[in-house]
Structure 1
Amino acid sequence: MKAGFWVAPEGEDTAMTVMPIGAEPPLRARKLNFLATSTAEEMIRRCNHTARLLPEIADALAIQKANEPGRLFDITDFPEDDRTLITETLGEGEVAGVAALANGVTAQMQEAVMAGVWRIRFTDAEGRLIADYVEVASIPAAVRQACSALPTTIVHGPAPAGAMNVMPVLTEIADRTARYRDGDPAHVITFSLFPMSPEDMGFLQTTLGAGPVQLTSRGYGTCRVVATGARNVWSVQFFNAMDTIILDTLEICDIPSVAIAAEEDFRDSAVRLREIEEAYFK
């Protein structure tokens, strides 16, 4: 059995993942270098939508606050070349994920190389693209939207045979979620600090359930962030290069900080995007 809060299905090596641990690193250099190619030069000459969009994104970054709603830029009806050029210009940053919304709609999220800038693609139940956005925000609004319908109470039966500490943990989670208010600091439960049997972990996972959001952050190492089926309760797991869990926690918070762009990120990203615009689009 795989160690950690999320237990892999029998015979499988990875559970509750957005993309495989150990995949190639963010494509910063490759994506930005594309802009220096003759192909990009030709695309830039004819992609007027992209040239107009970039300074608008930079302006939004310059005034965005970490605790305020973000700004959406609808590129759904942009020409295909423009949307390709936007993809290449933004690149792929450290955080990516998916959020399951109502009516079978899925939001596929990829942070740009500029932190606080996100590419959000919405697809229907058949996988067809229905909307395409660039968003300036700490975290895409789709994440909070997906989690807003989750229950705030935790219901469970008696502890199973072999359980050791799961009932006190569930009591702690229930108490903390009942008292949590937006803006409160995260309360972290670290499983490595006390013994949890496989029966404990299995009962805890079954009780909390899987939520609608999965995120992967590849900053310093790999971090997997998964919403549970209880509002404001998140599994946050850190992995080494061998796909071994080195830190396994639950966080009671709005959104775990590891996935959120900070205030200074917006200003740095505004400067960086203006430099890209000046170098390649002027």
Structure 2
Amino acid sequence: MKPFPLPVVALGAGSQPEDPDLAYMPLPGEVESFIMPALPSSEDVSHLGRAIELIGQLAALAARWQPGERCVRELAGLNSEELALVNQVLGEGEVSAKALLADGGEARIQESVFAGVWRVCRFDANGQQTGDSVEVAPIPELLIERAQAASRWLDALPPMPATLMNAAPIGAELLARQRQALDSPHVINFTLLPVTPDDLAWITELVGEGAVGIFSRGYGKCRVLATALTHVWRVQYFNTMNTLLLDTLEITRIPDVTLADGEDIADSAERLGEAHHWLCGAFDHV
């Protein structure tokens, strides 16, 4: 995760309306630094060869990862004891996500304590799990795919009330920038603009709700929501009291703040390799 490049300016009391979407998903808790998961001794897990092999495969995938690659390992073949070991090693990191699937189901995604190593679980419309995998990538491709598939292009602005102050130029900015998103990402920062509650309400209705939500507790609490407009994301930062500090629209394929970078993945490869060697009995331990 990367710090947001724009200055964070606290809002004055009453300068923003209450955000009804705050309940979309509970915001994560306090920031936690990396802690290598507590690992069992190799003797205790020597019979869990498939799980240990998978952890080694993940380390190798992370070490070989190149930009644009999608590296996935399915967990369907593991028994409950093997799966428990994988869960123990991967742990839970700073970023989680949800995506609504085309069939009415849902994907629930959790970054592990190894940045760029993601657990992706799929569920059908009845809540039954249909898939379980681990993906090595800056962010799971499913999130980008679903955000784009459930969105549309803005071809024209709808009529707007005459009482709005700055909604019209912001809407025009969205209209002009949306199709340039891949070549020239753009940020509209509501925190630094003179916008009224009515402006924000009209803009929120204009962009609509998308199919993806990404939530981070790194560098404070951050919520990144896909909108119903292609390449348009609502990115919001909160303090520890869940007070909104920074409210933006990012016009881009996916906001950089959600991505693990190459150095993150390389570091995860090294740490996963250490965990794999430990489980294989390569280290002396008491």
Question: What is aligned with 1:55?
Answer: 56
Query: What is the CA-CA distance between 1:20 and the residue it aligns to?
Result: 2.8
Q: Which residue of 2 aligns with 1:160?
A: 161
Aligned-partner Cα distance in 2 for 1:27–1:48: 30
**CA distance, structure 1, for counterparts of residue 14 and residue 23 of structure 2:** 12
- Tell me which protein shows more helix as a share of its residues: 1
The question of whether the paired residues in 2 share the 8 Å contact of 1:26 and 1:92 is answered with no
Shift of 1:180: 2.5
Write the letter of the residue equivalent to 1:228.
T
- How many aligned positions are there? 268
User: SS at the partner of 1:189?
Assistant: strand
Counterpart CA distance in 2 for 1:79 and 1:264 is 33
CA deviations on 1:13-69 (whole Å, 9 max, x unpaired) are: x62533335x3555954x712x24x7x963x23322111101111111112123x03
Amino acid at match of 1:100: L
1:32 to 28, 33, 37: 37
1:98 shift after superposition:
0.4
Retained in 2: the 8 A contact 1:138–1:260?
yes
Secondary structure of 1:32's counterpart equals coil
State the shift of 1:155 in Å.
Answer: 4.7
Report the equivalent of 1:204. Answer: 203
Q: Which residue of 1 aligns with 2:192?
A: 193
Which structure would you say has the larger RCO, counting Cα contacts within 8 Å and 6 or more residues apart? 2
2:59·2:272 contact (CA, 8 Å) conserved in 1? yes
1:147 aligns with 2:154: no
SS in 1 for 2:135: strand
Shift of 1:157: 2.2
The amino acid across from 1:165 in the alignment is N
Displacement, 1:141?
1.5
Partner of 2:9: none
Residues in 1 aligned to 2:80 and 2:15: alpha-carbon distance in whole angstroms:
44
Contact 1:215 1:259 survives alignment (8 Å):
yes
RMSD: 2.3
1:151-176 deviation per Cα after TM superposition (whole angstroms, max 9, x unaligned): 12255422235311111101101111
2:77 aligned counterpart, secondary structure: coil
Match of 1:8 in 2: 19
Q: Is the 8 A contact 1:99 1:107 kept in 2?
A: yes
Q: Output one character per residue of 1:46-101: Cα deviation in whole Å (capped at 9) or x when no partner.
A: 322111101111111112123x0311101123111111211110011111010111
Which AA in structure 1 matches 2:127?
G
Deviation at 1:253, TM superposition (A): 0.6
In structure 2, stretches of 5+ residues that fail to align are 1-12, 282-286
Cα shift at 1:260? 0.6
The 1:245/1:159 distance shift into structure 2, 3 A limit, reads same
CA distance in 2 between counterparts of 1:177 and 1:133 reads: 33
Task: Give the TM-score of the pair, scaled to structure 2.
Answer: 0.86
